[in-house]
Structure 1
Amino acid sequence: MADGRSRAVDATTLAYIQVDRDGLIQDWNPAAERLFGWSRAEVLGRPLADTIVPAALRSAHNAGFARRLAIGDRPDMSRRFELPSVHRDGSELTVSMTLDAIGAEGFCAFISDQTEWHQARQELQRSNTLISAILQHTSAVISAKDLDGRYLFVNGEYERVFQVSAADMVGRGEEDVMPAAIAAGSRAHDVEVADTATARTVLERLPFGDDIREYVVTRVPLTDPDGSVYAVCTIAIDDTERRRTEAALAAGEERFRNTVNNAPGMVYQFRLEPDGTSGFSFVSEGCWDIYGVGPETVAATGTVIVNFIAEEDRASYLASVQRSAQTLEPWEWRGTIVRRDGQRRQIYGVSRPHREPGGATVWDGMLVDRTRELLARRDLEDLSHRLAALSFTADSDEPTSELVGLIDPAHHERLAELWATARAGEPADAEFAVTSPGCGQLWVRLRPRTDGLVDGACFQLAGRS
């Protein structure tokens, strides 16, 4: 009988340990050798506590063992419990033990290794804790509904957004928290995902009072191990602010471009890299008016505009850019460009540079076509050479002697009539020959004032006689 029992103990996959009432090991089967790393010969007569109990728990083990000896054999002593243990190499184990009293011989125990199962359970608990933390603290609205559209779960954000409790929502439908039309549309999406067993993402608009919120909603089928769909999980992310911000940025950029493109001249940003390469990172539509080409042509390479500069002004342009890059002082340049159609344009450029952390120099500035302005200035200067002005204010009934001295005597009578008209309160203008022959004509302008005085001015008209 004993031999049969011994063979059975040796054959079992459970570790078998027997200790006497002093806690010394009396039996140790092959499964125990495999589990704890000690051979039978090594452990017989060795204290159990020093063999398989972690050092930190040995005092508690010895106290518990003493209590068992004190209370004696009891029917409820034979029970299964889980406890930490230790391998011969010091690695930690978790074992499940069933302990029995065997009278004067002491105690015996059957032990199974639960280390992997215990670790798996801990990992599962950690995973569940992680998932729960994510679900309850994410800003996404997450829920799960069965195939009948009844809620199985809603997360904390769902509770906050719809002002409901998770417990109250279980078993209810979307129509209990949303307008009927929106609930019906959502239900249709759920059915499609369940029928096709395929995830789907759509943009949905939900009314909240006077506000319409836009959600990016992803629905995912939940399946059993056999692949059959049993529920649909919905993950909704409020995308309202991002979309509004994007729309505002787009509108602002559009306003900026309209402003820049309608501004006189060419607005630009020019970069000079540390290796000497250069180029435009931005060019407004005004480049058409200046260079006669589009922004893409000007922005292609920094040398394009150099080729437009008149040969006689090219050196001054390059020197001005180099000087501004070295000193970071504002860049200013005046010169001539020659367009592809042969037109020569007078250009004025101004910009303010700054240095980027990587060493590149960047100018933000503007080029203005001053051709018309300079032509107008030249015309004005030419006109000023042709006009010699005399101005005066008089209160006499006769023309001033200075004015009379300028007019040919043959026209003095007509000048007196013009003066009388002005004194009578009416504006008067006339052209007269000047005193010196061949010196052209003089235009006289008289304007009466409210105080009775007369303001007068005369201009010499060159080339007219």
Structure 2
Amino acid sequence: MAQQSSKQLATSNLNREDHQVLWVNSPIPQAVYQLDGIIIDANPAFANLIGCKLIETVGRNIWSIIPLDDIQTQIQRFGSQEDNKLTIERVYIKLNNQLLLVKLSTVKIKLEDNNLFLLTIEIVNSLPTLCFHPDALQLILNDLPLGISWKDSNSVYLGCNQVFADILGLTNPQEIVGKTDHDLAWQKKANWLQECDRTILESEIAQQNIIKAQPQSDTTPKWLKLNSMLLRDASNDILGILVTLEDITARVDLEKQLKQQTQELENLVTQRTQELISSKAEFEKLVLNVPGAIYKFKIATDGTYSFPYISSDCEEICEYTSDQVMKNPELVMSQIHPGDISNFEKVVQRSAQTLNPKHWEGRIINPSGKTKWIQTASKPERQPDGSIIWDGLMSDISDRKRAEQALRESQQLLHLVFDTLPQRVFWKDCNSKYLGCNQLFAQDAGLKSPAEIVGKTDFDLTWRQSAHLYRADDRVILAGGRPKINYEESQIRENRARITLRTSKLPLKDKNGNIIGVFGCYEDISDISRQKQQVENTRFFLEQAIDSIKQPIFIKNTQHQWVLLNNAYCEFLGYPKAEMIGKSERDFFSPQDADIYWAKDELVMLSGNSETDEEPYTNPEGYEQIIVTQKSCFQDLNGDTFLLGMIIDIRPA
């Protein structure tokens, strides 16, 4: 069948030779397939795109090659319609482990009694990438109490933290890379979300405090607060979109660990040096165990220098053996980086004058051309002949320097993320003294920059009238070690304005699990609180209004559950309102009657039309009646569909 259809296509309008020339030489990937998806012909460009030989494409199913369920549904529906052409302007497809942005076009070709389809794939662009420091960024973001993700300018996700992945039901953040909102759990809102992204990119204005409901399997929605804003680099260039959904935790104090390790190393050097002087046996053991090269560095009274001793580990650092260095000290001294020689000479001169310990860090360039960072720690001693000998340790600290650089970059990225967030973020020590904050928090506190807050307390800031309440909260967190998440509190500012905050606080812990302070964030929800009260007032007014109507009235959601009833409807069915809300006819009527009501309601919700219909009804006394109902559909501001019904007549069956 495939070969016969292919021959008919080849000879339909052009002669076979002309068709073959155009088909083979076209640079645009094209394939001809039947209604069931079986490919009957393809050009070389199509075969190259999907990564197989041309002969292997014939007989394969087009949807096994391009597995896009939503696009497949559109094209299959197009096959049964009268239209002759379908175009999908922008869609991502994954071919050969590469994500491509393409334009799909399908043309219907009628040959005798058969319908064939010509699929054309035009590559619009490959998926752009956005470069972050992946390890540092992911470690930081996974500890935040907010769900955070970032997209490129085409609304394609480039990454997220674990909280964001958990909200969407993903196992780990890596699963989101390359996806769009159409691929995630909130695909029904994908068009709206992508329209928000376009608006932000065009206007450069963030969209904040957007409250949305995320449906759950148990029908109880999870309410999420969405904040979308531009993500910029240090040069203020737009990188894409940053999205937050909630939650921040403590970050690991790498800088403190690094300082502690440095101090431990210096203490170890002092201890091992003393052991070296006191005992040759201990000295030999020390040489074997110390991570670095132990040395004696001597400057004679005439200014010449030498290494009376240096351990064998110097070869790993300097690429020369200890014997070579002791014979020719210039082999080591000549390796000092030109930019660090002046500092080295000043440190040595100052130590020689004061006989204080010498500590120096600098770069050396090995004979192989490799640049290393080394650290020397030594103690001088003046000899009877007037010369000075330093007993010390030389260590390769290149890895530590790289870690310090990575830490600085991580801190810069962390500050960028914190300053991009719309929430106010802060952290304190165990005495409720501030250790840091982001830019928005500093502005609320009346400061010019986050650096000014270090060492201050709440009594020093614009909300000093509420400071005693915040200190009490801090003590609870520090004593119990349990976080307080999303609780509301009031704050009185210097201008005596009272605002409502939604605050989260949690204990800040070190790597050993010890509480070292408090980490928190808050946002001003004064407007949201007022809006919630307005919504409650409006709902109360609505309930009072429909209760005053004598005709039985009800409203259902798409799960056929009653969400709003008036008193007349409850009296008609004979059940209290509290018992009926959230339930459906299946909880109160016979299966036969419930199925009839369910089917008729479903028809109205699917068609969207208003309907007047007769339905059977058996009242609580057992009498069969006919009720006449009017039903119609409407949507709320979130786009959710509801069914409005009214009983307008009741008569005997």
Normalization by structure 1: what TM-score? 0.45
Name the larger-Rg structure: 1
**Higher relative contact order, chain-length normalized (CA < 8 Å, sep 6+):** 1
